């Protein structure tokens, strides 16, 4: 069973992924945040920046594409094959307003026939190994039966299921009953994704669904970047290494972004999740939120030592 780092747009950039692999490691494959292919050549080169091999030092990286058009997919495929990739993940689940407005991501789930036409084209023409990352509906889980029927037509590398609807966003409990149905009825190997925050959470999934192709962890890995190592029996997270990790990230983001303010924003966003690991440390959380300068944040987290 593969351990996968979920794509988190704005957070799991190449800078984050490289630093995570260097300091903590433990995960088998990183999924890159979505890239929306554009017809404008310059823009699309810019959008590929995150996955160019020169910048990526993790062993396995799977690019993710967000589109509902076969021709855009195929153009994207051509570009990433040139970069040396043999696998791609298709995002049919992003709930963000700007994405949904353009009938992409989770909004595509409202149009099962559209998904079918799109996947027909993709699977007919593509030479890549393809996985799909999906939610279980747009507004209701009732929609999933039809969607799963469509996914079952294709031979995928894996089907990654986040058992929430778009309406759920990231809130509440994932619908395990529906995931169980997918586990029984999917013709493709399944990867589970949602709310794995501890080794115990992982073990429960593994025990309930022993034939999964993988388990994908997102926010739980930002909260505790040692989670993959811990699942594999390695040592638990140490505050010292978390601080080292953050200092390294700060150094690298300062270089990449060329701005202390942007670097501070990046680290603040990460630490809003990391502080889930330290629920008692309310004063430190407050100090992180209030920090106006990078050294304020780096100083505040030392309070965890």
What is the binding site for ligand FMN (CB under 6 A)? 6-9, 11, 33-34, 64, 91, 93-94, 133, 162, 170, 193-196, 217-220
Residues 192, 172: Cα–Cα separation, whole Å: 16
| 44 within 8 A of 79, measured Cβ to Cβ | yes
Please report how close the Cβ of residue 47 comes to ligand FMN at its closest, in angstroms.
12
Task: Specify the residue, 30 or 255, whose C-beta has the smaller distance to ligand FMN.
Answer: 30
CA proximity to 261, closest of 219, 299, 217, 292: 292
Query: Closest residue (Cβ) to ligand FMN?
Result: 218
Task: Specify the residue, 124 or 171, whose C-beta has the smaller distance to ligand FMN.
Answer: 171
Task: Specify the residue, 164 or 293, whose C-beta has the smaller distance to ligand FMN.
Answer: 164
CA atoms within 13 A on the CB side of 269: 14
Coil/strand/helix, residue 249: helix
Please report how close the Cβ of residue 295 comes to ligand FMN at its closest, in angstroms.
25
Strand bridging mode 158-165 / 129-137: parallel
Task: Specify the residue, 245 or 273, whose C-beta has the smaller distance to ligand FMN.
Answer: 273
| 166 within 8 A of 103, measured Cβ to Cβ | no
Task: Specify the residue, 217 or 250, whose C-beta has the smaller distance to ligand FMN.
Answer: 217
Please report how close the Cβ of residue 221 comes to ligand FMN at its closest, in angstroms.
7
Task: Specify the residue, 16 or 299, whose C-beta has the smaller distance to ligand FMN.
Answer: 16
Phi, psi angles (nearest 5°) of residue 37? -65, 140
As a dihedral over the C-alpha atoms of residue 148, residue 154, residue 160, residue 165, rounded to 10 degrees, the angle is: -30
Please report how close the Cβ of residue 123 comes to ligand FMN at its closest, in angstroms.
19
Please report how close the Cβ of residue 205 comes to ligand FMN at its closest, in angstroms.
11
From the centroid of its chain, how far is CA 187?
Answer: 23
Task: Specify the residue, 102 or 244, whose C-beta has the smaller distance to ligand FMN.
Answer: 102
Beta strand spans in the chain (E): 2-5, 29-35, 61-65, 87-92, 129-137, 158-165, 190-193, 214-217
Please report how close the Cβ of residue 305 comes to ligand FMN at its closest, in angstroms.
27
Coil/strand/helix, residue 275: helix
Please report how close the Cβ of residue 300 comes to ligand FMN at its closest, in angstroms.
22
């Amino acid at each position: 069973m593969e351990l996968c780092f979920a794509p988190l747009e704005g957070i799991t950039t190449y800078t984050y992924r490289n630093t995570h692999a260097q300091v903590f490691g433990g995960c088998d494959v990183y999924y890159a945040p979505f890239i929306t292919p554009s017809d404008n050549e310059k823009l699309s080169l810019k959008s590929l920046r995150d996955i160019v091999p020169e910048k990526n030092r993790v062993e396995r990286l799977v690019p993710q594409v967000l589109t509902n058009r076969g021709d855009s997919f195929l153009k994207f495929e051509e570009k990433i094959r040139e970069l040396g990739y043999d696998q791609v993940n298709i995002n049919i689940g992003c709930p963000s307003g700007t994405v949904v407005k353009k009938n992409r991501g989770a909004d595509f789930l409202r149009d099962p026939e559209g998904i079918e036409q799109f996947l027909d084209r993709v699977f007919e023409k593509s030479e890549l190994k393809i996985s799909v990352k999906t939610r279980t509906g747009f507004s209701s889980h009732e929609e999933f039966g039809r969607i799963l029927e469509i996914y079952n037509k294709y031979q995928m590398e894996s089907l990654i299921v986040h058992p929430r609807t778009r309406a759920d966003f990231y809130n509440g409990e994932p619908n395990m009953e529906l995931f169980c149905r997918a586990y029984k009825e999917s013709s493709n190997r399944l990867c589970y994704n949602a709310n794995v925050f501890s080794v115990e959470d992982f073990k429960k999934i593994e025990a309930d669904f022993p034939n999964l192709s993988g388990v994908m962890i997102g926010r739980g890995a930002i909260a505790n970047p040692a989670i993959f190592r811990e699942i594999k029996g390695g040592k638990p997270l140490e505050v010292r290494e978390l601080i080292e990790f953050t200092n390294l990230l700060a150094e690298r983001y300062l270089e990449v972004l060329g701005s202390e303010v942007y670097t501070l924003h990046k680290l603040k966003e990460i630490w809003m999740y990391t502080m889930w690991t330290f629920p008692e440390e309310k004063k430190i959380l407050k100090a992180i939120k209030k920090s106006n300068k990078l050294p304020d944040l780096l100083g505040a987290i030392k309070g965890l030592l």
